[in-house]
Chains A and B, each alone.
Chain A
């Protein structure tokens, strides 16, 4: 009962804090919080990308089941922040100048293409569905453990979905950021402290824990861990594809449009990696400790919940609140991005006479529909959840050349972006579905082959056509903004393309 009361207290606190934000002034406010978010909000908003509710099930499964390999998140998160730093200036300048509210809209403006806008928006939304699935699954088990089994995982998922859908559909980006801040503060201070306490209480501290693992399960302290033998290229692949794709998620990228200044975005890269690395280092060490205990190693995805259940209602309560906080912060960001992608990038491109009020309605209904579609998937999920996450990165990485070449290469054009994105995705997903022997043999993941195809096609198409007419003007925008330190918005709120 205590863990349930703690969850209710947390959700009540979140709703109390955001009571004035439940109700937005329009679509722009729903999508971007009217560009008012400052450094703390962007820092925790980005941090929430990696430390999701499913960290304590899917990623814990990786740490408890295999050990060291779970540390792939640390370098990948840093690569993602480098990408963020690189795209920040041009995204901010063009986003402000052309009134962009989503990643798809920015790419549409850069390439002057409705199709680029629609397809990148749709891809971001579709590839995010497995993330929702993982979060719903996690919520189901959280509520089941919190009630000592009185609520089944299925009904736990159902209850969790209702709370999150209500929260996101009513609140928009500002409530997403508020949830992220609350999640981040709780996760870093209480979450890290809780795990350190558990390590000292059950393993006599970090030194004895590592000594036990080194003596009994030394393979868990190096890549790839026990019971499988992928080549080193697999490690390289998951670090690099996740790192390059990590900032391509619309639910992360769109937070740049919510920032109040360029300085805010870049400042957020200073604190984010430190907070994330400290938390995650302790998290994996606890996972390594649980690896030494057969009862947890047998069911690694539920190991954290089962372990904290043994520790008593207060530690379990603190953990389930931590997971609920992470899940709310993540899911609210995903659903917000999905809904704005469907209403802004897909619906408004199909029919550009849709009013802003109608776009907001579509966004809110998209939250409801997507939430329940993912719920159906979560109810039938099979296999380790972590591999769902890794699969989505194999698709999402195709957006990386579209974004980075679009921002930095003048010759990048819409034909290359479309053909490269589609061909790369077909290659990556085709390899995933057909599983040819060389994938496992060489170790490079499907997304690496797709990325090479996508990059090559974009470069070839860039040289086959002359530079597009509008590009000179966009590069002038950057020079002008650097010179005057101001961004002048275009007076016409929608670009014709």
Chain B
């Protein structure tokens, strides 16, 4: 696995821990405070999804810059 893939594998592992593991998820699993009109639990899941979108775009951009997408 190359360095870029290792970095993003770690990035997404951290997001997975924050959104699902006992401990971080228990902390987020509550109604208050409401954020953007959403209960905190739902906001937390959607916020992690947003960080994931950003991660995918960055991963793709780095792969494109390194020429790793041009294999045909």
A residues in contact (CB < 8 Å) with B: 68, 71, 74-75, 78-79, 81-82, 85-86, 89, 92-93, 206-207, 210, 214, 218, 221-223, 231-233, 235-236, 239-240, 243, 261-263, 266-267, 269-270, 273-274, 277, 281, 408, 481-482, 485-487
Contacts and interface: CB of A to CB of B under 8 A. Distances in A.
B16 A240 contact: yes
Most chain B beta-carbon contacts within 10 A, residue among A206, A239, A486:
A239
B46 A262 contact: no
Contacts of B38: 210
19 contacts: A75-B16, A78-B15, A79-B16, A81-B52, A82-B9, A86-B9, A92-B71, A93-B71, A221-B41, A222-B29, A235-B20, A236-B25, A263-B69, A270-B56, A273-B56, A482-B68, A485-B71, A485-B72, A487-B72
A232 B71 contact: no
Nearest to A219: B31
A270 B21 CA distance: 25
Contacts of B45: 71, 74-75
A239 B16 contact: yes
A233 B26 CA distance: 10
Given A233-B22, A270-B56, A408-B1, A281 B46 contact: yes
B11 to A, nearest CB: 9
B39 A277 contact: no
B46 A68 contact: no
A277 B43 CA distance: 12
Dominant secondary structure at the B interface: helix
Interface in B34-72: 37-39, 41-42, 45-46, 48-49, 52-53, 56-57, 59-60, 63, 67-72
Interface residues of B, number: 38
B42 A235 contact: no
Contacts of B41: 68, 71, 221-223
Q: 3 closest A-B pairs (Cβ-Cβ)?
A: A239-B20, A263-B69, A232-B22
A487 B72 CA distance: 6
Contacts of B60: 266-267, 269-270
A223 B21 CA distance: 13
B71 A86 contact: no
Contacts of B12: 78-79, 82
B37 A206 contact: yes
Most chain A beta-carbon contacts within 10 A, residue among B29, B46, B68, B72:
B72
Nearest to A288: B42
A97 to B, nearest CB: 11
Given A74-B45, A221-B41, A223-B29, A486 B71 contact: yes
A92 B63 CA distance: 15
B13 to A, nearest CB: 9
A263 B20 contact: no
Contacts of B15: 75, 78
A25 B60 CA distance: 35
Most chain B beta-carbon contacts within 10 A, residue among A82, A93, A207, A281:
A82
Given A214-B31, A221-B39, 10 more contacts: A74-B49, A78-B49, A221-B42, A222-B29, A232-B22, A232-B26, A235-B20, A262-B69, A262-B70, A270-B56
